[in-house]
């Protein structure tokens, strides 16, 4: 191809292909979090978008060059569908609503009880939204939660994102994102679960330290349980901790256990390395699941005023720890089988993988079979690490 | 066309011809039928693809300076040769439509929703024609760049999504049955069909005849390695149900990938690599159609046919991608019948008939021997 033609082509490409749709960053309203509530009118949805105000959200501390003092701008609009509500947002947003940087979708529990199929459909169909966007339910108004300044980050949506990311340390809520929600909703073997966000008065103003807990902070703890797309109940933080063994890889968890010879005080045990297995068995038309948890534990804190050595303490605490963990696992199994009667533990998947032929016989009536399945929980713990200390700290005082 | 390419370049061309649609659209099509067994379907399909590739190479080896249509004209006469050329044009017309579906929907659905479809079609047309005018050798070198892009893309997606993989999603093995999985593999067969039909046209331009079969089957195997991780990742990360829910399922995987906390939404980088290989596919389709058209009209040079061929392919591709329902209908139902009936029957018939009819070698064959 001759040079003039090449030059013409290059110029044509530069003109035609630059700009990616002519959207400048200063034309965009970057959504950081979105909340979904029921609208005032029956059958409508209220969408709240938490939008970053770039001029006031610069750097880690948000040096307020925009002079508004508000790093976020929250707006709400209602519509008969989510898309209509979002289009209505555009009526008073001076910039184009842009979803690609959204961190979290928060759904009010009243809205979720009526079904979130529209939410799943809309956000999984939306090309801008990333599939790793966190999804959670809240008992509070989602617009309130989304507008709440929380955490150290300047942008609240980013704070909630960090809550989810570092949740593996606390492990009290599932880390549910859009990808998992869609997969669970489409799955033939299980039902969706979503993390639960609540507002708790945990923040304290530095200017008014006497008003302890006067500032609402977003807390990630608990789980919303769904049957298909409808919220049917919730699990508390302890049940959620046990649930995570079934659905995720639990990195760590802390369990306080009363001291063996000093029931007034407690020791903190950190579950560090864990092996969790579910072994299904099919015998005479009956389904059994053997749930086994083997965990290696560090003693990270001991308030025990005990005369026992650390090794003896650790050995004596293994049994009560096993009991606590077993109870928690049995409690979440009971919640699934008796309270809600839905397989959010993904036990059907374990059964399908081991008994594919038998699964084909029961899959259409798994809802009835699942509560009848026998789930046996076995827990084995090994407390083998007192971390840095060779001797307990109160030993000197007692020897006097 | 006197150009000669190496066997390595042939392998690169085969990989480029298979990869974009195989990772982008085929996995979703197969997942709707074979669920978690799409990787097994791919294994079945690779075996079938290798056999047809070997058959194609064996046919060309009989008269190394003739492609399939020219060989058919030697066996059956001039008009049958022209008919085969017509079939090849029809085949690449369909192949180009699937290439455009893959290319346009990747770009339009995920990156440039406001861009007119026509612009993407025109870009593919211009790049394709530009490449073909430079000849097979330049095209082959671009294909090697395409292989580099494929490897880079694979590494990026692997780093970003391996930690999300749940092996339980891949089980149970052969969940939907062997026969169903085998039938579902027809979608992947169409990808190999494009590679074998291309090989049937360009193999006489490949230098070392002695290692043609190794290069051909090796190309299929390397392509399978490049594509093979995608069904595993798509099912393991997204679940079979989600994989089957999307037209372009690989983009869902790309949208889910992230490296650490700061590198996410890097599908823009991945799609840049993807576009290279997709555009190589475009070029090869135009090249093969131009060559078949020049044979149909008895021309010795393909250059007069490049622009008309590209315009016809682009017009058809545009018409197909303009309506998504029509595009999916073509991919799911029409294209497997269209592609496989030509790509399987042509080499099989020519191979069998060639066993009984021994054409006298031409002077050029003697020289090659």
Output the pTM of the full model: 0.86
What is the interface pTM, i.e. ipTM, of the complex? 0.85
Edge-to-edge order in the sheet of strand A262-283: A253-259, A262-283, A286-302, A374-385
H/E segment holding residue A365: none
Helix residue ranges, H only, chain B: 7-21, 27-34, 38-62, 68-76, 78-110, 117-133, 135-161, 178-184, 186-202, 212-233, 240-245, 249-256, 267-296, 303-322, 324-329, 335-356, 363-368
CB contact under 8 A, B261 and A16: no
Rounded to a whole number, what is the distance in Å from the CA of B242 to chain A's nearest CA?
A: 6
Give per-residue pLDDT as tens, B322-354. Answer: 999 999 999 999 999 999 999 999 999 999 988
Q: Residue A187: list chain B partners with CB under 8 A.
A: 239, 241
Q: Does B166 touch chain A (CB under 8 A)?
A: no
Q: What is the DSSP string of B68-109?
A: HHHHHHHHH-HHHHHHHHHHHHHHHHHHHHHHHHHHHHHHHH
Give per-residue pLDDT as tens, B11-46. Answer: 999 999 999 999 989 999 999 999 999 999 999 999
Q: Which CATH number fits domain A244-400: 3.20.20.30, 3.30.300.210, 3.30.420.40, 3.40.50.10540?
A: 3.30.300.210
Q: Does A130 touch chain B (CB under 8 A)?
A: yes
Distance CA A328, CA A236 (A): 11
Q: Show the tokens assigned to A354.
A: 């081991």
Q: Does B133 touch chain A (CB under 8 A)?
A: yes
Give per-residue pLDDT as tens, B54-104. Answer: 999 999 888 888 888 888 888 888 899 999 999 999 999 999 999 999 999
Residues of chain A with pLDDT under 70: 1, 15-23, 56-69, 202-214, 392-400
Most confident range (mean pLDDT) of A59-68, B174-183, B352-361 is: B174-183
Which sequence spans correspond to the domains of chain A?
244-400
Which residue, A126, A129, B36, is CA-closest to B27? B36
Q: Regarding predicted confidence, which is higher, A265 or B151?
A: B151
CB contact under 8 A, B264 and A132: yes
Distance CA B283, CA A159 (A): 48
Helix residue ranges, H only, A233-309: 237-247
Asked if B266 and B250 touch (Cβ cutoff 8 Å), the reply is no
Q: What is the mean pLDDT of chain B?
A: 89
- Picking from B168, B238, B264, the nearest residue to A179 by CB comes out as B238
Q: Which residues pair with A349 in a beta bridge?
A: none
Asked if B18 and B199 touch (Cβ cutoff 8 Å), the reply is no
Q: Residue B126: list chain A partners with CB under 8 A.
A: 9
Cβ-based contacts under 8 A for chains A and B: 60
Asked if A196 and A104 touch (Cβ cutoff 8 Å), the reply is no
Beta strand pairing call for A230-235 and A215-227: antiparallel
Beta strand pairing call for A262-283 and A286-302: antiparallel
Q: Does B194 touch chain A (CB under 8 A)?
A: no
Distance CA A66, CA A72 (A): 11
Helix pair B186-202, B267-296: axis angle to 10 deg: 50
Choose from B241, B260, B270, B324 for mutation: most chain A CBs within 10 A: B241
CB contact under 8 A, A186 and B241: yes
Rounded to a whole number, what is the distance in Å from the CA of B125 to chain A's nearest CA?
A: 13
Q: Does B264 touch chain A (CB under 8 A)?
A: yes
Distance CA B335, CA A174 (A): 43
**Neighbouring residues of A118: CB distance < 8 A, sequence distance ≥ 6:** A45, A81, A82
Q: Does B112 touch chain A (CB under 8 A)?
A: yes
- Picking from B168, B175, B237, the nearest residue to A356 by CB comes out as B175
Q: Show the tokens assigned to B123.
A: 């870009």
What pLDDT was estimated at residue A96? 82
Asked if A119 and A142 touch (Cβ cutoff 8 Å), the reply is no
Identify the residue whose tokens are 């997709």: B278
CB contact under 8 A, A188 and B237: no
Domains defined along chain B, listed by start: 13-357 (1.20.1740.10)
């Amino acid at each position: 191809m001759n040079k003039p033609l090449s030059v013409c082509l290059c110029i044509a490409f530069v003109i035609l292909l630059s700009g990616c749709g002519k959207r400048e960053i200063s034309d965009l309203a970057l959504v950081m979090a979105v909340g979904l509530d029921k609208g005032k009118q029956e059958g409508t949805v209220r969408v709240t978008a938490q939008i970053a105000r770039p001029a006031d959200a610069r750097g880690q501390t948000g040096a307020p060059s925009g002079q508004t003092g508000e790093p976020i701008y929250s707006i709400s609009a209602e519509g008969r569908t989510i898309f209509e509500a979002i289009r209505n947002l555009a009526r008073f947003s001076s910039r184009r609503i842009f979803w690609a940087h959204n961190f979290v979708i928060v759904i009010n529990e009243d809205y979720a009880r009526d079904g979130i199929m529209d939410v799943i459909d809309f956000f999984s169909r939306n090309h801008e939204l990333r599939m790793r966007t966190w999804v959670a339910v809240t008992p509070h108004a989602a617009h309130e939660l989304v507008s709440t300044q929380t955490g150290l980050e300047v942008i609240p949506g980013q704070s909630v994102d960090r809550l989810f990311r570092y949740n593996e340390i606390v492990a009290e809520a599932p880390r549910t994102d859009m990808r998992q929600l869609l997969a669970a909703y489409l799955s033939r073997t299980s039902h969706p679960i979503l993390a639960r966000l609540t507002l708790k008065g945990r923040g304290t103003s530095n200017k008014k330290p006497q008003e302890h807990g006067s500032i609402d902070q977003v807390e990630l703890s608990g789980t919303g349980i769904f049957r298909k797309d409808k919220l049917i109940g919730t699990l508390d933080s302890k049940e959620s901790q046990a649930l995570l063994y079934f659905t995720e890889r639990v990195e760590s968890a802390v369990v306080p256990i009363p001291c063996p010879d000093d029931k007034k005080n407690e020791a903190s045990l950190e579950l560090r390395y864990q092996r969790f297995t579910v072994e299904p068995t099919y015998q005479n038309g009956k389904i059994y699941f053997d749930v086994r948890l083997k965990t290696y534990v560090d003693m990270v804190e001991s308030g025990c005023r005990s005369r026992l050595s650390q090794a003896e303490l650790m050995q004596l605490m293994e049994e009560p720890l096993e009991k606590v963990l077993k109870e928690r696992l049995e409690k979440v199994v009971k919640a699934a089988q008796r309270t809600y009667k839905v397989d959010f533990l993904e036990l059907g998947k374990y059964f399908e993988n081991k008994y594919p032929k038998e699964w084909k016989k029961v899959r259409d009536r798994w809802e009835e079979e699942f509560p009848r399945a026998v789930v046996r929980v076995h827990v084995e713990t090994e407390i083998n690490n007192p971390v840095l200390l060779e001797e307990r700290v109160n030993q000197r005082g007692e020897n006097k | 066309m006197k150009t000669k390419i190496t066997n390595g370049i042939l392998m690169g061309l085969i990989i480029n011809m298979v990869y974009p649609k195989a990772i982008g659209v085929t996995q979703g099509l197969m997942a709707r039928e074979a669920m978690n067994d799409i990787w097994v379907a791919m294994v079945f399909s690779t075996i079938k693809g290798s056999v047809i590739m070997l058959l194609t190479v064996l046919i060309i080896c009989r008269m190394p300076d003739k492609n399939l249509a020219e060989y058919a004209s030697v066996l059956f006469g001039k008009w049958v040769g022209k008919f085969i050329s017509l079939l090849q044009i029809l085949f690449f017309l369909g192949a180009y439509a699937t290439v455009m579906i893959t290319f346009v929907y990747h770009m339009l659905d995920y990156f440039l929703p406001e861009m007119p479809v026509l612009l993407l079609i025109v870009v593919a047309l211009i790049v394709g024609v530009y490449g073909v005018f430079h000849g097979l050798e330049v095209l082959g070198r671009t294909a090697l760049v395409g292989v580099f892009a494929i490897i880079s893309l694979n590494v990026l997606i692997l780093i970003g999504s391996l930690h999300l993989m749940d092996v339980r999603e891949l089980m149970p093995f052969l969940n939907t049955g062997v026969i169903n999985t085998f039938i579902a593999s027809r979608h992947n067969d169409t990808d190999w069909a494009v590679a074998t039909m291309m090989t049937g046209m360009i193999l006489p331009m490949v230098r070392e005849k002695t290692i043609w079969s190794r290069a051909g089957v090796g190309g299929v195997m390397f392509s399978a390695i490049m594509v093979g991780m995608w069904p595993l990742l798509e099912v393991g990360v997204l679940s079979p149900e989600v994989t089957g829910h999307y037209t372009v399922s690989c983009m869902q995987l790309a949208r889910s990938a992230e490296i650490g906390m700061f590198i996410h939404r890097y599908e823009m980088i991945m799609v840049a690599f993807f576009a290279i290989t997709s555009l190589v596919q475009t070029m090869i389709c135009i090249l093969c159609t131009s060559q078949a058209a020049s044979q149909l009209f008895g021309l010795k040079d393909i250059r007069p046919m490049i622009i008309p061929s590209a315009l016809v392919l682009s017009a058809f591709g545009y018409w197909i991608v303009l309506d998504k329902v029509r595009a999916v209908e073509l991919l799911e139902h029409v294209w497997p019948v269209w592609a496989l009936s030509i790509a399987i029957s042509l080499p099989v018939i020519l191979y069998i008939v060639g066993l009984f009819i021994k054409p006298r070698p031409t002077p050029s064959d003697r020289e090659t021997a």
